[in-house]
Structure 1
Amino acid sequence: MITKQTIDRIMEAIDIVEVIGEFVQLKKRGANYVGLSPFANEKTPSFTVSPAKGIFKDFSTGKGGSAVTFLMELEKFTYPEALKWLAKKYGIEVEELLDKPENIEADNRRESLMIVSGFAAKYFQEAMWDTPEGKSIGLSYFKERGFTSETIKKFELGYSPDNWEAFTSDAINKGYQSEFLVESGLSVKRDNGTLYDRYRGRVMFPIHGFTGRVIAFGGRTLKTDKNVPKYVNSPESEIYHKSNVLYGLFFAKKAIRDQDNCYLVEGYADVLSVHQAGIENVVASSGTSLTVEQIRLIGRFTKNITILYDGDAAGIKASLRGLDLILEEGLNVKVVSFPDGDDPDSYVRKVGSTAFKTHIEQNKKDFILYKTEILLKEAGKDPIQRANVIREIVESIAKIPDSIKASVFIRECSHQLQIDERILLTELNKMKLTKSKKDSQQRSSYQQPEEMPDEPHFFDEPVPIEKPVAVNLPQEREIVRLLLIYGNQIINWDNIANTYIGPFIVAELSDVEFEQADCKEFVALYKEQLENGVLPEEKFFIHHPHKHIVDLSVDLLASKYTLSENWYNMHRIFIQEEQMNMKATILGAIFHLKKQKVGKILDQLRTDLQNAQEPADQDIIMSQYMQMKKIEKHIVDYLGSVIIK
């Protein structure tokens, strides 16, 4: 368990904009920052970060919380894992109440896979740097490819000994469980139940997750045997889904954000060479076809992708077909090709860093125009082939969600294709109309719910909405909101002075039982803090280890809309805020909640009166009912007088 002193130091050091900015491209808007949700596919930013409150709120999915919560939601960290990640980021030493050795047999399966992958990465590095075999085979290979020691160490490259069980035996001897060695793909189980090394005799390329931890590996053979696959990659696991991962992104994300551009290459070596040449905003799809998830991953940091192709014409044509996905996601795509026989890795080693950068600047072209040029060259003068090219180009333009951008490409392509712009526009409109009809048919084919939800929602994907189980739900949440925002402010009313709002509300509602679980726990926590002589602030609840407390707090603190600072100056319209009459705000909330409680008691008494059989019982219930009606009238009268004042 991490000590409270360490947690406090971490919380004091956190800059939530800086932390979330490593994962999401944020832009300042008023007092807050906004960006596209990392949890959903959206075109319009609904993800908001409030540096003043230290919280984020994703209005497309409903997720929200602190920087700690963000890491838990996005990276599936546990609470201690998120704290340790932040501690590492800010250079804070983590003190724990109980000094335990590395928990090899962790209860958390995902963490166990992370631990064994981290061990493997370290093992492969030491095998390369510290053994004669590793130095003569693995290290010499990387050096011959032109990689410096700095690059090799930065990307944690390594070597797996050419031995059937070297790694597996060492891991098992150190206490790592065989099931995690097999599930992570580091070891393979034979028919007789024994294990052997998957990557034996290969140079190793660790694949890092978004936060820098090793989640998988790519191993390249150095043998010339055609029966041996050149690359062996980790299988899918709980921590590694290749369609959601881009090689090198952990090292590239800051540069991508700073340069507002991402260079996309094909393989591990391409990333290493281009990165080493000083172009650090480079990632690879690791030999797999580019996926929507990978494109959206890039889209968190930039809307601009530059694809660096090798000189293989057949490979270029095959890749072109899949790149419409990028256009559909609303990103801008440029393409750079290299001379035949060269890829980014070989070309940068051949011409050097400066010439490589110059080549990119002088040869980058918009994807649509590049595709048009390539396909026209292939079609030659064949009219049928040219017609197919035209249709394929228009299909690509139809993928672009921005109509203005699409119209610009139509105009440019009409010159290249030597065809009237109106014909291309007509074809484009046909395609869009056909797609619209298909989408409409798909939507209408969905079974409609028998009942509409009580509350509207505006999420990109349907999110189930639970109906309130208590009639006084809004009033309970309002009390929690006031405790959060105004609890540490002092009352200066006519008949009450020098009293904090938080303790005043708690005292006034001491006889009220909260019904909603999260509100009930929140108030109990608040009381507990008061009893310990502490007046809790927003941060106490925002950084609380219980997720439902964080969710409740952020929901009540976050607002999707904020008024412009120039609103009053521009429109001369004054928006009255609740702070202007705190007495009405606080007492109104207290007595509205009490009124709801009394109303519920009255409902129960009416039911009891209808079911009572004996006259004596009816008299007792009626007496109780009349007493509660008097209390209700007193509350209503008091509410009226407070609000009027």
Structure 2
Amino acid sequence: MNNQIEEIKQKIDIVEYIGRHAKLKKVGRNYKGLCPFHQEKTPSFVVSPDRQIWRCFGTCNDGGDVISFLMKWENISFFEALKDLADVAGVTLENITRDDEQFNRVQKMYEINLVALKYFQYVLLNTEFGKKSLEYLFNRGLSEKIIKTFEVGYSPDSWDSLKRYLLKKNYTIQEIVETGLIIKKTNGGAYDRFRNRIIFPLRDARSNVVGFSGRILDGENKEAKYVNTPETEIYHKRNHLFGLHLTKDAIRKEDNAVIVEGEFDMISPYQFGLDYFVAIKGAALTEGQLNIIKRYTKRLTLALDMDAAGIEAMMRGVALAEKMDFEVYIAEFKSGKDPDEALQKDPIQFKKDIKSARPIYDVIIEAAQKKYPNSSSFHKKKIAEEVAPFIILISNPIVRSHYVRKIASILEVTEGSVLSLLNKRQSSNKSSFRPKTNIKKSAPKKEELLQRFILAYLLSLENPINIIESIKSKLNNPLFIIPSYQKLFVNLESDLKIHQDFIYNIFISRLPAELQAVADELYMYSSDMPEFKEKEIVKMAYDLKRLILKKSIEKLLNSDDKNDEEKTSFLVKELNDVEIIYRTL
């Protein structure tokens, strides 16, 4: 397996591969750019073509090889990334043992969801139970072809039909519960989550079935209109974009993502050839969704409900989009309250409305003018108050200056007056989030906590020699950067070589006086610690080593001494070796 991994990495140029996702510029022997994993203005992301590794020296403080990059970019497991990269490299994977517990569990969830999808789809298209729902979908204007494309299904009006079907497929109750398809009762039983509902499968960008959305038929208002898969290991509402698996290529080609609310608003345009739409739940775009969209485009066209709640939710999304340097536009429909209705009434006009979407700030200013049409000072004041919360979100100084001039012209005031209002509004917003001035003791840093945990755990064991040898055999000294902790660790290791039976009270009596108080504090600290398995402590030791190496590398990078380049390369290699083992623990 290791030979195949190396073959894959050798066949993929990491600079070219990462360059598809981040703009890189050659700086000396390396390439540098803005980190694709967090927002920043000063580049901190470095890719080394010589070592075929990457590292973010900014907020992420992370790095690795091309496999770890794809894992982080797609939020997938090691084996999923390896499989994808093997396809890219043209390498056939052989003798791969997938003993990763999380990977196997996630794959099982995908598998169960796919079986459920086919069950729901069969019930809709091939049974008497689904006839009413199928007729409803046809009446909504959906063709049989589009119903099959989006794999729409139906869940029977039954408490346990899906459960019984999946049990016959040899899945356990617990495995099905983990997908969210059934709900466990307090008395130990379980029942189907989706009952008498049209079912929309939710696939991620990689086409994995991560969950479902169930909608009641119109007029059946006894229950909530929608029931969705709850948060699971594979489904997170804040990161999901309905239809992206079908539209991502068109979004990249069109360089535009139209954001709608709900499945029908996304499916209807797709049926009419508008294949660069995605749907969200609710009107608020999340940071997770924006991070996914920016892989394909930096332009958003919002086609969302513009009621009071929708506008408030939209503002939160716009604020995030501004920080991430998106261009945001608003689509206004001349007929219909939402995209689905507008499209059904006049498809030609709908397409024109999408193509003529205007910058969000122009739409907001015009809406405020229509709301307060008089030229009175009161109406001018109200216009300014309504648009100010949006204008202060603009981070680009040129764009902001443009809208300051525009507002000043509309209100017939000076640009200085508009700027004064915006500054006051911005200061007010900041002050409302200002932290309390109570001075608190700063929390200990992670490396300090890790050192404390490891040593406290060792001192609490009856025989710590095995775990010490395990840590020492894999990690070089010094492991502890707090001098007293390192001295204590060395003393503990030396003592155990002479005295195999470890008794804390006897051990402390043999310690130098200056270390006895330190040891006692740690020994007492261990009594409040949760129980750890040996593997968890070994992982903590690797985590600690990672932090120590990162700090050493950062220090060398900030040095002007050219002789530090060799040291840096050595430490970066050591860090990546540690990272590889750490991810397997």
Deviation at 1:68, TM superposition (A): 1.9
Deviation at 1:186, TM superposition (A): 0.8
Question: Match of 1:409, as an amino acid?
Answer: Y
- Whole-angstrom distance in 2 between the partners of 1:413 and 1:234: 45
What SS does structure 2 have at the residue aligned with 1:218? strand
Counterpart residue number, 1:211: 206
Counterpart residue number, 2:399: 405
Q: 1:223 to 1:397 in 2, by over 3 A?
A: closer
| TM-score, normalised relative to structure 2 | 0.67
- Whole-angstrom distance in 1 between the partners of 2:8 and 2:123: 36
Deviation at 1:411, TM superposition (A): 0.8
What SS does structure 2 have at the residue aligned with 1:27? coil
Counterpart residue number, 1:379: 372
Q: 1:73 to 1:139 in 2, by over 3 A?
A: same
Question: Match of 1:40, as an amino acid?
Answer: H
> 2:306 aligned with 1:306, yes or no?
no
Instruction: Map 1:573-588 to 2 at 5 A.
Output: none
What SS does structure 2 have at the residue aligned with 1:207? strand
Question: Match of 2:62, as an amino acid?
Answer: K
Counterpart residue number, 2:112: 116
Q: 1:148 to 1:465 in 2, by over 3 A?
A: farther
The answer to whether the Cα contact below 8 Å between 2:343 and 2:350 also exists between their aligned partners in 1 is: yes
> 2:420 aligned with 1:422, yes or no?
no
The answer to whether the Cα contact below 8 Å between 1:65 and 1:551 also exists between their aligned partners in 2 is: no
The answer to whether the Cα contact below 8 Å between 2:130 and 2:156 also exists between their aligned partners in 1 is: no
Question: Match of 1:55, as an amino acid?
Answer: I
- Whole-angstrom distance in 1 between the partners of 2:351 and 2:556: 43
> 2:387 aligned with 1:389, yes or no?
no
- Whole-angstrom distance in 1 between the partners of 2:279 and 2:439: 38
Instruction: Map 1:147-546 to 2 at 5 A.
Output: 147=142, 151-190=146-185, 192-222=187-217, 224-287=219-282, 289-309=284-304, 317=311, 320-325=314-319, 326-352=321-347, 355-362=349-356, 364-381=357-374, 384=378, 386-434=380-428, 442=435, 447=440, 449=442, 517-518=474-475
Counterpart residue number, 1:570: none
Q: 1:387 to 1:20 in 2, by over 3 A?
A: same
Deviation at 1:430, TM superposition (A): 2.6
Q: 1:433 to 1:286 in 2, by over 3 A?
A: closer
Q: 1:200 to 1:389 in 2, by over 3 A?
A: same
Q: Deviations over 1:595-614 (max 9, x none)?
A: xxxxxxxxxxxxxxxxxxxx
Deviation at 1:307, TM superposition (A): 0.8
Q: Deviations over 1:102-150 (max 9, x none)?
A: x999786545434433332333334445x22476345555454444566
- Whole-angstrom distance in 2 between the partners of 1:585 and 1:15: 23
Larger Rg: 1
> 2:38 aligned with 1:40, yes or no?
yes
- Whole-angstrom distance in 2 between the partners of 1:272 and 1:336: 17
Question: Match of 2:56, as an amino acid?
Answer: D
Q: Deviations over 1:25-72 (max 9, x none)?
A: x22423877665454343445344556754332232122122321243
Counterpart residue number, 1:66: 65
Q: 1:551 to 1:55 in 2, by over 3 A?
A: farther
Q: 1:226 to 1:138 in 2, by over 3 A?
A: closer
Q: 1:184 to 1:245 in 2, by over 3 A?
A: same
Counterpart residue number, 1:82: 81
The answer to whether the Cα contact below 8 Å between 1:304 and 1:331 also exists between their aligned partners in 2 is: yes
Q: Deviations over 1:355-414 (max 9, x none)?
A: 54332223x222122112112322343754542331231232122222222111111122
Counterpart residue number, 2:492: none
- Which structure exhibits the higher relative contact order, with contacts defined as CA atoms closer than 8 Å and separated by 6 or more residues? 1
Q: Deviations over 1:557-604 (max 9, x none)?
A: x99999xxxxxxxxxxxx9998xxxxx979xx9xxxxxxxxxxxxxxx
Q: 1:196 to 1:276 in 2, by over 3 A?
A: same
Q: Identity of counterpart residues, as a percentage? A: 32
Counterpart residue number, 2:503: none
Deviation at 1:346, TM superposition (A): 3.1
Q: 1:297 to 1:450 in 2, by over 3 A?
A: closer
The answer to whether the Cα contact below 8 Å between 1:47 and 1:59 also exists between their aligned partners in 2 is: yes
The answer to whether the Cα contact below 8 Å between 1:59 and 1:560 also exists between their aligned partners in 2 is: no
What SS does structure 1 have at the residue aligned with 2:435? helix
Question: Match of 1:70, as an amino acid?
Answer: F
Question: Match of 2:435, as an amino acid?
Answer: Q
- Whole-angstrom distance in 1 between the partners of 2:294 and 2:380: 33
Question: Match of 1:174, as an amino acid?
Answer: K
The answer to whether the Cα contact below 8 Å between 1:209 and 1:215 also exists between their aligned partners in 2 is: yes
Q: 1:162 to 1:7 in 2, by over 3 A?
A: farther
- Whole-angstrom distance in 2 between the partners of 1:157 and 1:21: 37
Q: 1:52 to 1:299 in 2, by over 3 A?
A: same
Q: 1:33 to 1:210 in 2, by over 3 A?
A: farther
- Whole-angstrom distance in 1 between the partners of 2:143 and 2:100: 33
The answer to whether the Cα contact below 8 Å between 2:408 and 2:414 also exists between their aligned partners in 1 is: yes
Q: Deviations over 1:509-553 (max 9, x none)?
A: xxxxx9794569xxxxxxxxxxxxxxxxxxxxxxxxxx99x989x
- Whole-angstrom distance in 2 between the partners of 1:385 and 1:423: 16
Q: 1:272 to 1:17 in 2, by over 3 A?
A: farther
Deviation at 1:219, TM superposition (A): 1.0
Q: 1:146 to 1:560 in 2, by over 3 A?
A: farther
Deviation at 1:428, TM superposition (A): 1.8
Question: Match of 2:82, as an amino acid?
Answer: L
| TM-score, normalised relative to structure 1 | 0.62
Alignment gaps of 5+ in structure 2: 453-470, 478-541, 571-585
The answer to whether the Cα contact below 8 Å between 1:185 and 1:198 also exists between their aligned partners in 2 is: yes
Question: Match of 1:442, as an amino acid?
Answer: P
Q: 1:289 to 1:78 in 2, by over 3 A?
A: closer
Question: Match of 1:58, as an amino acid?
Answer: C
What SS does structure 2 have at the residue aligned with 1:196? strand
